[in-house]
Amino acid sequence: MARLIEKYKEEIVPKLMEKYSLKNKLEVPKLEKIVINMGVGRAKENKKLLQDAMKHLAILSCQKPCMTRARKDIAGFKLRKGDPVGCKVTLRDVMAYEFMDRLISIVLPRIKDFRGLSAKSFDGRGCYTLGISELAVFPEIDIDDIEFVQGMDITFVVSVKSDEQSREMLRLFGMPFRS
């Protein structure tokens, strides 16, 4: 079982129940899923960029990513409905906790000039999104294999609809928020 699942059950649930005076364990916020999204804007000119992004995302997540396509035509970007524009993967249960553990303990400390995560990136419904501008901070990715600088968005979807409870849960997991 993942290290963060045990920490959640043994430490985080009792602390959140006490802090928010919750009577039932099912009321405690929990991590539902993590969605990793990579937008590849230059995929229209070079299909290899999208294939590389999908390959890197598969290495990071240990799952096969799905291709995302444009929903509508945008003339300014020379984009047609249905054109491939990126890829994404959804992690649930043990895979989500394993990825979160690697992100907190290995990846975030490797980011250059890292001063903590912004606490303002909550969406009003308890979900938190952070952006990573470079794949090279992940130890699974070989730096020599990267042909172009590619970033990603990581969204943590939490079962509670309150930003405050969601922030507290992520902080107890070890997310380094700026104060």
* Domain assignments of the chain as residue spans, ordered by start: 3-170
CATH of domain 3-170: 3.30.1440.10
Torsion angles phi and psi, residue 39, rounded to 5:
-90, 125
The per-residue pLDDT for 95 is 93
The per-residue pLDDT for 133 is 87
Asked if residues 97 and 119 have their Cβ atoms less than 8 Å apart, the reply is no
The per-residue pLDDT for 44 is 67
What whole-number distance in Å separates Cα of residue 158 and Cα of residue 92? 11
Nearest to 72 by CA among 81, 60, 59, 61: 81
- The one-letter code for the residue type at 151 is G
pTM, full prediction: 0.88
Write out the chain's pLDDT in tens, 179 residues: 678 899 999 999 999 999 999 899 888 999 999 999 998 877 667 778 888 888 989 998 899 999 888 888 878 777 788 888 889 999 999 999 999 999 999 888 888 888 888 888 898 888 999 998 888 788 888 777 777 778 899 999 999 888 899 999 999 999 998 87
The per-residue pLDDT for 101 is 92
